[in-house]
Amino acid sequence: MRRAAARSLAAFSGCSYLAFVACLAGATGCRTAPPVLAPDVASFASVTAEAFAALAARSQPAGSELLSLRWRFTDAASSVSGRGAARVTPPDSLRIDVRGPLGFGRGALVLAGDSVWANPEDLVRQVLPGRFMVWAMLGVVRPPDEVERYEVGDADGRRLLRLVEPGGRATTFELSGDTVLGAVQSRGDTLVGRLMLVRGANGRVVHADAQDFERKARLVFDITGRTPSGGFPAGVWRRP
């Protein structure tokens, strides 16, 4: 696996290079809809961080659960796939462990409250996006660490939640009710990323497909199993 250029964990944890692009073709029992590709800025109204957070919180899962994953990552220089697991405890704790074929290339990303750590940092950075887009892969809206502006809008009866980061990158989530359908990322008039989620007949995410048009990188997740949990040991969230 190609090693990504070293950057600080603080930069990694606050940023994401991925957003999702396409639906799982022919998935039986799945339901999805294309995200808005170029939402009109005039349709948005500014809101407070608290108001945005209240709307975003509705997308959180009801309780802790363990997810089984299959994943595939490709970019211009490499292609790798494997299996993994995600431990989710709302409202703000998430751990994703990934491993390559035959256990090669293991890595973990842990988000617990305001803390974040990755091990090994460069491997995890290559395969997984940053904090708020990791949550989005699982159908949960959470803002990144730094946001200049929060906005809400609508399109054909669907809610749009948009946040603008320092530097001008905007992420627009599209929701039907409280269900995240997908998202787009843009810089000015340029589309730089796209996200779409596929949900099963029960409304839970079963597939996520992500593409970064700037880096020509793609990440695919299939969620193959979900197990409710009463909670996870404290050691799950600690750096080894």
CA distance 196 to 227: 23
Ramachandran quadrant class, 43 (left: phi over 0; alpha: psi -120 to 50; beta: rest):
alpha
With residue 56 as reference, give the H or E element that holds it. helix 49-57
Confidence label for 132 from pLDDT (cuts 50, 70 and 90)? confident
The pair phi, psi for residue 73, each rounded to 5°, is -125, 135
End-to-end CA distance of the chain: 23
Strands (E), 75-204: 79-89, 93-99, 107-112, 115-119, 149-155, 158-164, 169-176, 179-187, 190-199
pLDDT in tens, 70-120: 999 998 888 889 999 999 999 999 999 998 876 667 889 999 887 889 888
Question: What is the model's pLDDT at position 104?
Answer: 67
Report the relative pairing of strands 79-89 and 65-74 from DSSP bridges. Answer: antiparallel
HSE-CB for 36 with a 13 A CA cutoff:
22
The answer for residues whose C-beta is within 8 angstroms of residue 196's C-beta and 6 or more apart is: 20, 21, 22, 23, 32, 34, 35, 181, 182, 208, 209
Mean pLDDT of the chain: 81
> How many degrees, rounded to 5, is the angle at CA 159 between CA 176 and CA 140?
65
pTM, entire model: 0.80
Q: Are 211 and 218 in contact (CB under 8 A)?
A: yes
Confidence label for 239 from pLDDT (cuts 50, 70 and 90)? confident
Report the relative pairing of strands 93-99 and 179-187 from DSSP bridges. Answer: unpaired
Look at residue 130 and give its three-state secondary structure.
coil
Confidence label for 50 from pLDDT (cuts 50, 70 and 90)? very high
The pair phi, psi for residue 35, each rounded to 5°, is -75, 160
Radius of gyration (Cα) for the chain, nearest Å?
17
Residue 189 burial (10 A CB sphere; 0-12, 13-18, 19+): exposed
